Structure 1
Amino acid sequence: MHLENLLGRGPVDYQEVDARQRDLHEQIADGAHDDTLMLVEFDHVYTAGSRTQPEDIPNDEVPVVRIDRGGSVTYHGPGQLVVYPLIHVHGRQDVVAYVRALEAAVMATAAEYGLETQRVEGRSGVWVVRPGEQDRKLCAIGVRFARRTTMHGLALNVHSDLAEFERVVACGIRDAGVVSLEALGIDTTLEDVAARLVPHLERELARFRAPIDAPA
């Protein structure tokens, strides 16, 4: 799988990366480019998916970019690792199974840092659930399938400014919080997390990709 790693550029503009994602998506859907993992750290931006409700953005002064992924509104910014897997799906297009694969890759990465995470029934993403504490989302997931090819992906909080999430109802969830690796006492970098996450993604997503010897 091709790797397009933009982390070395520091926080970048969302619109610039979105344009690049869409260009790659069309090439991959056309069979003109290999499946790709895009790794990026965004400058401050709020994006709203198809399930966003007006009450999820209580402050109408918050600038929001409307996009064509699933899910509600969320924040992206410095200290957060965003990964867009762009894959031409071979066989059945099972969106739920695909989301579960992304979750599994993130959970395996968290385990490498000694952190126990889990899924929460009825909610996508990767969570930290502890007795007596509010559930907290570590990684948000929002995807789209178009022309048998995936778009968008996951956002993993490494050392994000969690206060930025308080300007919206993150992911449309009112009874849970948001957390980062840093807030959980894990001192690491986006580059180190990416290096650990990519092999897990390649393993989990392999079943969605066409076999190497499949006809074009």
Structure 2
Amino acid sequence: MEFNTDRLGANAIDYVEAWEWQRRLLTQRADGLIDDTILLLEHPPVYTAGKRTEPHERPQDGTPVVDVDRGGKITFHGPGQLVGYPITKLPSHVLVVDYVRRVEEALIRALAEFGVETGRVDGRSGVWLAAGSGRPERKIAAIGIRVSRGVTMHGFSLNCNVDMGWYDRFVPCGIADAGVTSLSLELGRDVPVSETIDPVSRHLRELLAWQPYTPSPDIDTLEHPTVPVLGV
């Protein structure tokens, strides 16, 4: 598995350019010309809309939106957000939902290294913090993927020290009854993208080796431990 971290910070890559890059890598991976590759990068500010985005969920101020060929709804990408695009060939026994859960698990474990307890919310993709202290459930990482020829593209975005004002212009991921947050907001200090590269890379490498693992509990059951279940 190869990681590419060349397009971070001042070298942030335009979204459409990165999309085309993914497609080239997907073809090469499907043809057996390269190994699994994960792009870890940043984008200049952009909104992207997945296939299930409704008109009322788009920015109401005319902000441009790129319509993309992934699942999910509308989201934002921009500086201060780690975006990951795994170009990974799925083993025959791994379902798409299993792959998504493994990516979520990698992020959950990486965030735990910062002392931030997160988990999944039943029926909603991504990585979340539980409601509490007068705050709603809030998403810290979004996930939207596409699989073609058995190879994944698109991926996840993890809010590190992104300007959260961008999320005021639309309905993030089409979810109006929950919030959005970042590592910096939760920890009360600046957490640049560079701090997350190592833990995210390590846990992605581990989880995408397709060995059995013990999933973290959903956030609504964090206080009520259950018997671990092995993944595929």
Please report how far the alpha carbon of residue 60 of structure 1 lies from its aligned counterpart in structure 2 after TM superposition: 5.5
Partner of residue 178, structure 2: 176
Distance change (3 Å), C-alpha of 1:58 and 1:7: closer
- Alpha carbons of 1:8 and 1:80: their partners in 2 closer, same or farther (altered >3 Å)? closer
199-208 or 62-71: bigger deviation:
199-208
**Bigger shift: residues 149-158 or 191-200:** 191-200
Amino acid of the structure 1 residue aligned with 2:127:
V
Of the structure 1 ranges 175-184 and 56-65, higher mean CA displacement relative to structure 2 is found in: 56-65
C-alpha displacement of 1:62: 1.5
Deviation digits for residues 109-157 of structure 1, max 9, x if unmatched? 1100111111111100000113232111000000111100001000000
Q: CA deviation at 1:16?
A: 1.3
Pick the aligned partner of 2:192 from 149, 164, 189: 189
Report what 1:212 is aligned to. none
Segments of structure 2 that go 5 or more residues without pairing to the other structure are 212-232
Q: In the alignment, what sits opposite 1:121?
A: 122
Of residues 201, 205, 212, the one that matches 2:204 is: 201
SS of residue paired to 1:206: coil
Given the two structures, how large is their TM-score scaled by the length of structure 2?
0.86
Please state how far the C-alpha of 1:10 moved relative to its aligned partner.
3.3
Deviates more, 1:7-16 or 1:163-172: 7-16
| 2:137 pairs with 1:135 | yes
Task: Give the drift of 1:36.
Answer: 0.2
Task: Percent identity, please.
Answer: 47
> Partner of 1:165 in structure 2?
167
Moved over 4 A (4+): none
Q: Could you tell which deviates more after superposition, 80-89 or 49-58?
A: 49-58
Q: Which structure would you say has the larger RCO, counting Cα contacts within 8 Å and 6 or more residues apart?
A: 1
1:186 positional shift? 4.4
Q: Please report how far the alpha carbon of residue 8 of structure 1 lies from its aligned counterpart in structure 2 after TM superposition.
A: 5.5
Q: What corresponds to 1:3 in structure 2?
A: 3
| Superposition deviation, residue 58 in structure 1 | 4.8
**Structure 1 unaligned regions, length at least 5:** 209-216
- 1:171 match: secondary structure: helix
Q: 139-148 vs 182-191, which deviates more?
A: 182-191
DSSP-derived class of the 1:24 partner: helix
How far did 1:11 drift?
2.5
Residue 150 in structure 1 maps to residue 180 in structure 2: no
| CA distance in structure 2 between the partners assigned to 1:171 and 1:111 by the alignment | 23
